[in-house]
Structure 1
Amino acid sequence: MKFSEELTAAGQPILNEIIQHPFVQGIAEGHLPRAALTFYVGQDFNYLNAFIKVYAAAIQKSQTRADMAIFAKQIDFILNSEIHPHHNFCNVAGVAYESLQHEAQAPGTYLYNEHMYHAARTGDLIDIVAAMTPCPWTYVEIANLLVKEGKNTDQNVFKPWIDFYANIDDPDESLLPQFFGLIDREAEKYDRHRLDQVKEEFLKSCEMEWDFWDQAYYQKRWQFVKPLKQANQ
């Protein structure tokens, strides 16, 4: 079994829980509270800003231009394409996207961002990719399942969201085969103990994906701290 296959097999139970989460089920059925949608967009904008910075760190730790190109392309994707699912949620919620771009990090967002930053600061390239892969992996799996179940109908207000993440799984363009291939290549350099550390990083990100949906659905904010709104990001 390839190491990437070992990772996704270990993460499958968490993915199953994500799929059953009421937020994801709300996307499937076309009904979600306005507060959950706006909370999600504000936090995901924050999270994706961190994602861009971690991609830049991956470029610094890459040894070939081919690897650098993978991460550079993904920076462009976040900046210029991944705004579309945000617009879908905002349109359904009836709010301007720009109004949600300066939210302070909620606790779950802060933890997830710091988890990725830690991989970038202290880890090797495999650590960074392992910490980042659960995000695209779970989203593609969710979208593909919803398409398979016929949830992307014209009557579903979240059809643009579903179609967006299902369509990024194009075999010629998909990020996931590149990330999994990079993980498998880099895994050959390490012993079992080190690979178990990488696996833990991957699984922590999987769990934080679940928590990201959960904090948005229930709008989990700081209980005792009142953080300031973020400055321009």
Structure 2
Amino acid sequence: MLDDLPAGHGLFAEDGLIARLRDLTRTDWEAYIGHDFVRGLSRGDLPRPAFRHYLIQDYLFLIQFARAYALAAFKAETLDDMRAAAETLRGLTDTEMKLHVRTCAGWGLTEAQMAATPEDLPTIAYTRFVIDAGLKGDLLDLLVALSPCVVGYGEIGLRLKAAAVALPEGDAYRDWIEAYSGDEYLAIARAAADQIDRVWRERGAEARLPALTGLFAAAGRLEAAFWQMGLDAAARATDI
């Protein structure tokens, strides 16, 4: 079942900040990782126009997220944090974006086509929210605003992998599921969660939990809106 995360997933520490934030924002988090778009992926019946629109916008989204991790390196106060931000940035540009472009090629999309497409409003809203959080706050604020994407996709990937056993061979969404449940991506998610826990302990811990919860909840809602953007695009295509 999509709702059952495999035991021992190990994406984040059970006593760490991500676990706390997920529990404190349970409704928003479940609306994100259990969105109808994600459930469509798990069943293999997500409308093709919805996924195609998502793929294009996610390419543009990843470019802005790479910029956010460059900002994280600037915001870092220690060499370890600079290295961690640089490693995640490298993971995004050298691993995730390459996986994404490869998936898009299977849908007849070239990198040049995607780069020339305007950002949709949910893409602008989410990415600029994250960058604004980093500009106004410190490294911890930025990492928390980023975490629903980085860690959340790992959780979604694991859930979808467990559900995908029921999908037929050659299903159109298997490549995407395998990318976000694969070892390369999960290593990025785990590293991001570990860094957040370390920075949280160093920068205020419990005293900052209310403000960080607000950032995490807002980012989760923006993630859900990003999924919805794909479904809305498919609905518009059907109406034409």
Give the TM interval when normalised to the shorter protein: 0.7 to 0.9
Q: Which residue, 113, 117, 142 being the options, matches 2:131?
A: 117
Comparing 200-209 with 100-109, which one deviates more in the overlay? 100-109
Q: Which residue, 181, 184, 190 being the options, matches 2:200?
A: 184
Q: Which residue, 175, 180, 203 being the options, matches 1:165?
A: 180
1:80-129 per-residue CA deviation (whole Å, 9 max, x = no partner) reads 211313432441x3333431122222111111112111112110111000
Q: Which amino acid aligns with 1:179?
A: Q
Alignment check: 8 A CA contact 1:86 1:97 kept: yes
Q: TM-score, normalised by structure 2?
A: 0.79
Match of 2:237 in 1: none
Q: TM-score, normalised by structure 1?
A: 0.82
User: What number of residue pairs does the alignment pair up?
Assistant: 216
1:197 is the counterpart of 2:211:
yes
CA distance in 1, matches of 2:169, 2:100: 16
Q: Tell me, what secondary structure is at the counterpart of 1:155?
A: coil
**Residues 64-103 of structure 1: matches in 2 within 5 Å?**
64-83=78-97, 84-91=99-106, 93-103=107-117
CA distance in 2, matches of 1:216, 1:204: 19
Q: Which amino acid aligns with 1:184?
A: W
CA distance in 1, matches of 2:105, 2:28: 27
Higher helix share: 2
Match of 1:62 in 2: 76
CA distance in 1, matches of 2:232, 2:216: 25
Alignment check: 8 A CA contact 2:134 2:141 kept: yes
Shift of 1:67: 1.1
CA distance in 1, matches of 2:223, 2:149: 7
Sequence identity (%): 24
Distance 1:89 1:24, change over 3 A: farther
Q: Tell me, what secondary structure is at the counterpart of 1:103?
A: coil
1:53-82 per-residue CA deviation (whole Å, 9 max, x = no partner) reads 111111111122211111111111221211
Distance 1:86 1:182, change over 3 A: farther
Alignment check: 8 A CA contact 1:38 1:100 kept: no
Distance 1:153 1:126, change over 3 A: farther
Q: Tell me, what secondary structure is at the counterpart of 1:149?
A: helix
Match of 1:25 in 2: 39
